[in-house]
Amino acid sequence: MRRRPKQLTTAPDLFRDGPGAPVVVDLDPAGRDGDVADLPAGGQGVQLTRQTATQRDVAELLEDRVPDPEIAAMAQRIARRLAVRRRPRDPRAERGSGRLASVPYRYRSDDIDLDRTLDVLAERPVPEDTDIVVRERMRSRRSVVLVVDVSGSMRGEKVRMAAATVAALSTDLRDDQLAVVAFWSDAALLAPLTAPVPPARLLDALLRIPARGLTNVHFALTVAHAELARSAARRRTTVLLTDAVHNAGPDPRELARRFPELHVLLQTDGEHDRELGADLARLGHGRLAAVHTHRDVAPALNRLLPG
Per-residue pLDDT, averaged over 108-115, amounts to: 75
pLDDT in tens, 36-95: 334 333 333 334 467 888 899 999 998 886 666 766 676 666 656 554 544 444 333 334
By C-alpha distance, which of 236, 245, 284, 248 is closest to 264? 284
d(C-alpha 102, C-alpha 113), whole Å: 7
CATH superfamily, domain at 36-86+140-304? von Willebrand factor, type A domain (3.40.50.410)
Residues of the chain with CATH 3.40.50.410: 36-86+140-304
Q: What integer pLDDT is reported at residue 138 of this predicted model? A: 54
Q: What integer pLDDT is reported at residue 71 of this predicted model? A: 66
User: Which band of pLDDT confidence, cut at 50, 70 and 90, is reported for residue 22?
Assistant: confident
DSSP for 248-294, please give it. BSS-SHHHHTT-S-EEEEEE-SSS--HHHHHHHHHHTT--EEEESSG
Greatest Cα-to-Cα distance within the chain, rounded to the nearest angstrom: 82
Q: What integer pLDDT is reported at residue 79 of this predicted model? A: 59
| Number of neighbours of residue 6 by Cβ within 10 angstroms | 12
Residue 290 scores a pLDDT above 70 = yes
Q: What integer pLDDT is reported at residue 115 of this predicted model? A: 79
CA distances from 168 to 97, 103, 187, 266 (A): 18, 32, 22, 16
d(C-alpha 51, C-alpha 295), whole Å: 40
Q: At what angle do helices 69-81 and 199-207 cross, to 10 degrees?
A: 150
pLDDT in tens, 131-162: 777 776 655 578 999 999 998 877 778 888 98
CA distances from 110 to 91, 100, 103, 114, 116 (A): 11, 13, 11, 11, 14
Residue 129 scores a pLDDT above 80 = no
d(C-alpha 279, C-alpha 2), whole Å: 15
d(C-alpha 209, C-alpha 263), whole Å: 24
What is the value of pTM for the model shown? 0.75
d(C-alpha 49, C-alpha 28), whole Å: 5
CA distances from 87 to 91, 99, 172, 239, 288 (A): 12, 16, 11, 20, 20
Residue 192 scores a pLDDT above 90 = yes
φ and ψ of 55, to 5 deg = -95, 130
Question: What is residue 55's three-state secondary structure?
Answer: strand
- The proportion of the chain whose per-residue pLDDT surpasses 70, expressed as a percent, equals 71
HSE on the CB side for 192, CA within 13 Å?
16
- C-alpha dihedral over 40, 41, 42, 45, to 10 degrees? 20
Q: What integer pLDDT is reported at residue 95 of this predicted model? A: 45
Q: What integer pLDDT is reported at residue 180 of this predicted model? A: 95
d(C-alpha 236, C-alpha 233), whole Å: 6
Per-residue pLDDT, averaged over 273-287, amounts to: 96
Inter-residue contact 172 to 132 (CB < 8 Å): no
Per-residue pLDDT, averaged over 189-194, amounts to: 92
Per-residue pLDDT, averaged over 271-282, amounts to: 95
